[in-house]
Structure 1
């Protein structure tokens, strides 16, 4: 009813009452009616304004209101509607303090119910119609918009980049408007005592978005028995999907939902907590529960790197996990993430322990052809070099793990780098220990060679591979230059022992002073011994292998320096003295360049008999024309 009409009605009734009273009881004094206060007038105005606007948008009394969105039709009128509802709420408080049963209050309550149904409808429409603009990815970009703009500022002349930027700005603008509208409605409904209805709509719609996002990321609930039945290829694919899911969910899905929830329900800490918890808790528990199930499954060293990937994903995202799920009601999510970290740590330690046992148990007695690098060395160093790539998390994983027992290896294998008071980080100690276990195993394998020189060559090859792998990987930073230098010295010692045992007879067959004057008979005897010993050494060692090209060249050069110059000088001084002798070709079988050529053919592992030294009937001229390999 218009304010003027109400006031007229009240005025006339009061006047008639007063007149009748004065005629019937002339002796009683009149009681004046209280004059409306400014507060009364403002209350009436608030109810009158609310009546007009709320009735206009009452979907039950207007087809227009039923099919039209208030916030899409007119933003200014929508804000006016919110203001009217807020004023109506204040008016209702004023009326309750005066008369809790007044008709004005009943009328105001009816208006409030209509207004709340309208806002509830608007809230639902905004959430539903803006799913694309309120998706977590769009919302989460609000917090990183500054970096996005700075990254595109250098390409302002590029039309494509500018168009993409405009598109992003448009999406964010729509997203921001929708978020602002939702917040206005939520604050209005909460302050009016209708927060429950608002929250119910929000939870239903937003939870479906989170659940759908988790499903699309390929995360699903799996039991330990289901995982144990999977082949490794299938499980590895699941883990890869999970790793991507963690990245996306923490950057966009849960981050975006937290931003949206905090913004919409900024007026109430308890409501935004309950909303976010109900929306995200189930999906987050599913996401962070997967690693725990994997960690409990069957273990084998080849799985350790995927397990480490999962550990790294949680560890690197832990600040975000703590920030996004900071509410007390989401403590179970944080707890699940920590539980998964603990289980993954236990799994990694178990698999590394199994790997160590595998090294120790590997005891095949078949020597490697030519003293080359053993498959155990290749596999172990590949494993350890990959393991070193995870040094940032391995320190935490092995931090409280007891050191390996020294009793499992002979005391002679220990050195200062593994002493009890070593300052080396725990992961460096663990990797140094695993290499030590490998070297101990290799030392035992070297004994399987009948030729002692070949056993030293085997140790040379394998230790060289270990050192090279350390130097070329992150093992370098874990073990340090001192460790590398010390083991490089051991490689040189092994190589020197090989050279001494394999070539000492050949070197010893030449005189200490090759320039000394000797008789033709003595020269023939020296040539004969040299030929015999060189043939024997070469035929035995032409099948030997040195895998590392640089080491191969160094070893050949070392042998050549000890052998060829001495032989060259002896050959130049004495070959003419025996040339006039009968059967001189059988005495001087090798020219110095022949010796160098044959040495250059060493350490390639060839078994071709044609590559050996020539027979006694070979021509020196033809031998001298042999090209170097």
Structure 2
């Protein structure tokens, strides 16, 4: 059959099809489709592809191609918009394109036959125009996505804040409670497909199906990747993410890096729990009719872009110079990766999953090693603190404040640090990096404390053992520093202050209290009582000897010169104690009160008894005033002035 024998396009038929009833159009299209499918079956069944007399081309082929050409012209001219088409019309067009692709494949078997080649070229030309149109529409709908949930959600929060600030003070709390998003609630439905409506998703799905069936899989997937990559990069900009190289990060001060980390933490969680899952749902919905390999690869490539940026940032932070102040941000990053990576793993498969696991595992291991070493550095810094400067008044040493505050915050990450130490503790190094050596001159015996602690903590609790070791090192250091004070009483006040601070910080932190255990707390409390007892013995025993009755009477008669000397010695000694110890510091109110009460309990009764028995010996008047300088109430007042850190004058005698 020659090309000119083909029935020409019938313009009247093209016009008539517009005026037909929808039911008749559908019926006609069904019949036409059936005829084309039958013809394709005939072509595919014919085993004489090299024959010069292939099956005769049925008239339905000409009508079918004319109708497709007519619809393509409508779309190309803009008289019909794909986004305005009804669902069934979209499906019909995609089915037509798919059927055309099958027809072309079957016709190509007989390309050597002239009239088959002519028909193939014509149908192929129409099909290419249809593909071009579908590509344009596919990209147009993809580009028409609305702002992502994250941005809308941020705007909602900002609007809520603005309303809250403009409301009256009495309504601020209510506004906060009303407008603040509930983290436990599911995100709004609009986030399901990142701003694409269900109708848009349906049209994108049909277009992808048609493009892939028409042999334009590469063009279709490239278009999708290009648009969604731009959308992801836009999200990164909206979140004000700035990527720093390792060299740039190492040159930055820690404060700006710390702020960037805080933003990174929120961003990584946002991508892991919201944006990337939505991105996965989107690509699955658009390419649901096709092999999952397409959506897997597209999503894997898109996720790799974001995760590369985010994980590279984490790696750059980790490569900065190690220091104690960075521990907690390192822990935050470690926890974020630990919690988020499993969620991301659910979204990936194959090589993409392997790449994510490899990269995340490498960074997590390096972070864990850095965290482990930072706490090892804390041991070294305590041992290296050999300063000879005394803390004025025997107060709490800065090393004690720093160490306990540091440990208090570290214990908030108990579970994470347990994991880190379990994974990074060296088997051949049962002790920490600094070993178990202590100051050989120290009377402190941390070994016994370690032994008591290990019984409770158990051999598998590596972080507990590490915490106990740091405490032991701090004790040993404070013991050495206490010897810097020449006054033994002040040395004991120093140990009391620091011991009390350590105990209170431990008991006030649930995690640290649990980690150290009851035996350790009881041992600490016992040590404090010993310091207290030794202080009273060291300071007040000599003073009380002045109030002894021994040696004052001979044959029942009070020796007045000896009594005068006793009062003079008491006055001088008490004045010196008061003058000195009012400059000493006991910052813990409860400890200060306990000390004053215990001192009053031993001094005032003894002084009152001594005065009651011997004050009559003196001649009333000037002699009494000369030797009896203090009344019991004066003594009590002076004791209440001790440990204030002020150089008060001796209390006025009554």
TM-score by length of 1: 0.79
Matches within 5 A, 1:212-227: 212-227=234-249
Q: Which residue of 2 aligns with 1:589?
A: 629
Task: For structure 2, list consecutive stretches of 5 or more residues without a partner in the other structure.
Answer: 10-30, 40-58, 155-173
Aligned length: 562
* SS, match of residue 647 in structure 2: coil
Structure 2 SS opposite 1:81: helix
Distance 1:265 1:139 in 2: 26
Q: Report how far residue 110 of structure 1 moved.
A: 4.4
Q: 1:406 aligns with which of 425, 436, 439?
A: 436
Taking structure 2 as the reference length, what is the TM-score of the superposition? Answer: 0.76
Mapped pair 1:178 → 2:200: yes
Alignment of 1:81 onto 2:93: yes
- The reply on whether 1:210 has 2:251 as its aligned counterpart is no
* Structure 2 contact 479–495 (Cα < 8 Å) conserved: yes
Q: Is the 8 A contact 2:74 2:80 kept in 1?
A: no
Q: How does 1:147-296 map to 2 (within 5 A)?
A: 175-266=197-288, 267-296=290-319
Distance change >3 Å, CA 560–CA 237, structure 1 → 2: same
Equivalent-residue separation in structure 2 for 1:124 and 1:475 (angstroms)? 58
Q: Which of 312, 316, 333 is 2:335 aligned to?
A: 312
1:434 partnered with 2:470: yes
State the secondary structure of the residue aligned to 2:642.
Answer: coil
Unmatched segments (≥5 aa) in structure 1: 10-35, 142-154, 614-621, 625-629
Specify whether residues 277 and 53 from structure 1 end up closer, same or farther in structure 2 by C-alpha distance, changes over 3 A only: farther
Judging changes above 3 Å, is the alpha-carbon distance between structure 1 residues 327 and 553 closer, same or farther for their aligned structure 2 residues?
same
* Aligned partner of 1:124 among 132, 139, 148: 139
Instruction: Report how far residue 302 of structure 1 moved.
Output: 1.7
Shift of 1:87: 4.3
8 Å CA contact retained: 2:221, 2:298 = yes
The equivalent of 1:504 in structure 2 is: 541
Decide which of 67, 70, 93 is 2:82's aligned counterpart: 70
2-side partners of 1:385 and 1:67: how far apart? 71
1:385 aligned onto 2:408: yes
CA-CA distance at 1:57 after TM superposition: 3.4
Quote the Cα distance in structure 1 between the aligned partners of 2:518 and 2:106: 82
Report 1:417-428 matches (<5 A): 417-419=452-454, 422-423=457-458, 425-428=461-464
Among residues 69, 75, 79, which one is paired with 1:55 in the alignment?
69
The alpha-carbon distance between structure 1 residues 495 and 40, as it changes in their structure 2 partners (threshold 3 A), is same
For residue 407 of structure 1, give the secondary structure of its aligned residue in structure 2: coil
CA contact (8 A) 2:75 2:82 kept: no
- Report the CA distance between 1:218 and its aligned residue: 4.2
Does structure 1 residue 321 correspond to structure 2 residue 372?
no
Match of 1:487 in 2: 524
Q: 1:519 aligns with which of 529, 544, 558?
A: 558
Output the aligned Cα RMSD: 3.9
Offset at residue 520 of structure 1 (A): 6.8
Match 1:530 to one of 545, 551, 570:
570
- Pick closer, same or farther for the CA change 1:567–1:56 going to 2, 3 Å: farther
Q: Is the 8 A contact 1:520 1:578 kept in 2?
A: no
Aligned residues of 2:75 and 2:81 also touching (Cα < 8 A): no
CA contact (8 A) 1:138 1:175 kept: no
CA distance in 2, matches of 1:344, 1:182: 43
